[in-house]
Structures are given as structure tokens and as C-alpha cells.
Amino acid sequence: MQYRLAADTPVTWVGNDRVRVGGVVRAVTVADTQLTHDLISELRNGAEREYLERIAATHPDRKRADELLVDALLSVCSPVAEQSARRARVLVRTPSSSVSFARSVAAEFARRGHHVVFAAAEARPAADTDLVVEVTERVLSPRRYLPLMADDLAHLVIARDDEGILLGPFVLPGRTPCLRCDDLRNAAEDDMWIATATQLHDLPPAHPPLELEWLAAVVGAQSVEPFLAGVQPAPGEGLTFRRERLTGLRRDGADVEFQPGCGCQAPGETVLAAVPARAKGAVDLGLA
């Protein structure tokens, strides 16, 4: 069964590292930790008890967590019969080396009620795609992201490397910095970046802990949930203009800025090599 915390439920700091969740009729006071706020965020969208308990068990704050935290938060929520969020169409693309990880990402989007299509890295998105999630190893090739810019398709990058998992940026063509902006910045700072990036494609796949991969899938899907529900984020919200790295208990971020000469603020004008007009290699898993 799913539970949902009403959108207008107040969350008030009451001192001594405690917050009060709820109004006059139903309220509970719990620890003011990042875990508490992450669980509240999930409950705003609707979540099952088992899912919340899994987050609590794998969260960096788990050592500080109250064992009864999930029960306390559920006491001020209302059960819901079914998820009413809009069913967005999400394409998850992956190279063969990342299939297992990408399936975890796809399953998380499906758990949130979206229609998920799972495909190879070269698959062409269908015309009605709302979001392309690019699962990759270390860096994403321009061959994968430039066509998305030309087609004005929102896309989120999730990359595994030897240090952990990179989330973002979440790119809204014409509105936020893109991956080419990031490549141009890296090239300006390091004359060898283009050669280095090419060599990174040839390295063996990275294998972060499965717990970290699951957490990355949750954080990545959560970051774009408002967009998939039909809310256009302001530039700078969530993972727009930003890339975050998950490494065990750490979650660090770095800004992504527009670069002169990129042209990403004019989607559809990027010069591309010829690409097939129809989708290939896509498999509709019926995940919903």
C-alpha cells in the first residue's frame, strides 16, 4: 500500500535538531536529518513502507536514524489506493556493459508509474519520448547526446566510474548547459581532455557497490520527478546546471556552466552526422 503526505502538510523546526511534521490534528516530532527530509520528499509523491525502509537502511544517515522514523512519518500520512501521477514516457539507453545497472534505473522510473522503454545505446528515441536517461561508463560520447539536443529532448546522464557514480546534468535543450558545455570547459582546462575522454571509453567497466547503484537510481529518478509530472523546473533546480557524484556516504556536486561557442541555447541547430530517422534496438518492457 502507498502512503502520501499532503502537499500542504507543514514541516516546522522546533529546536534541538528536531522538526515537527503535521498540523493541528495529526503531527509528529522527529530528528532533523537529511534522511528525514529525503523520506518526506518521497512521501509527498507517494511511497510504500517497504521502499521507505529500504531508503532508511541504505542512507548515509542510517547510523543516526531513529528505528521508528518511518512509522512516525507514516502516522501523519494518508493511504492512497493508486498513484495518480502523470505517466511519462521514459527511454533508458545503455551500452551492453551497463545493462544490469540500467535495468535498476529503469525499474525505479517504472516504480514511480512511468512508461519505460529499455534500449541499446544507439537506439533512436520515439517521437513521444518525454525523457531520455543515458546510462553510461565514465563519459557520454557526443554521438549519443548531440542528436538529443537537435531533437529538443530532455535528457539525464547517469555514469559509473572508478570513484563512484555521476548524476547529471539534467539537460533541457535551450534552457540549461549541456554536456558539450562540460566538454568544452574540460578542454579549455586540459589540452589533453579530448584524447583522455576517448581513452576512457576503452577502459573496462566500473563496478561500484550494488547499494550505491540502487541509491543512484533513486536519487536520479527523484531529481526529475517534478519535470515528468509536468512541472517545468527553473534553470538551476535539481540537477539542471549541476552534476553530483555519489561515493559511498558522500554526495558532492559541481556546477555546469554555459560555454561560449557551444550553441546549446539554440536547440535544433547543432550540426550532426546523419542519423537514422526510425528507432532501432528499443525494447518496450511494459514496465509500469
pLDDT tens, position by position, 48-64:
898 898 888 888 777 66
Last residue of a domain, one of 27, 55, 80: 80
> Do residues 280 and 222 both lie within one domain?
yes
Give CA–CA dist 50/70, Å, rounded: 10
Residue 136: predicted pLDDT = 95
Give CA–CA dist 225/221, Å, rounded: 6
> Do residues 93 and 213 both lie within one domain?
yes
User: Among the residues of 190-231, which ranges form H helices?
Assistant: 193-200, 210-223, 225-228
Residue 24: predicted pLDDT = 75
Last residue of a domain, one of 80, 113, 148: 80
Residue 179: predicted pLDDT = 93
Give CA–CA dist 80/89, Å, rounded: 23
> Do residues 183 and 246 both lie within one domain?
yes
> Do residues 103 and 201 both lie within one domain?
yes
Give CA–CA dist 15/29, Å, rounded: 11
160 close to 95: Cβ distance less than 8 angstroms = no
> Do residues 76 and 157 both lie within one domain?
no
> Do residues 131 and 44 both lie within one domain?
no
31 close to 65: Cβ distance less than 8 angstroms = yes
> Do residues 134 and 201 both lie within one domain?
yes
Residue 65: predicted pLDDT = 62
Which residue numbers in the chain have pLDDT < 70?
63-66, 81-86, 249, 266-288
Residue 92: predicted pLDDT = 97
5, with CB counted inside 10 A (0-12, 13-18, 19+), is buried
Q: What percent of the chain has pLDDT over 70?
A: 88
> Do residues 63 and 153 both lie within one domain?
no
> Do residues 167 and 118 both lie within one domain?
yes
> Do residues 100 and 227 both lie within one domain?
yes
Q: What is the pLDDT of residues 17-58, one digit of tens each?
A: 899 999 877 899 999 998 999 999 999 988 889 889 888 888
The DSSP symbol for 64 reads G
Last residue of a domain, one of 55, 80, 105: 80
Residue 266: predicted pLDDT = 62
> Do residues 185 and 238 both lie within one domain?
yes
pTM of the full structure: 0.68
Residue 273: predicted pLDDT = 38
Amino acid occupying residue 249 = L
What CATH code is carried by the domain that includes residue 27?
Answer: 3.90.930
What are 186's three cell numbers? 574540460
What CATH code is carried by the domain that includes residue 183?
Answer: 3.40.50.720
Amino acid occupying residue 6 = A
Residues of the domain holding 60: 2-80
Give CA–CA dist 274/267, Å, rounded: 17
> Do residues 147 and 277 both lie within one domain?
yes
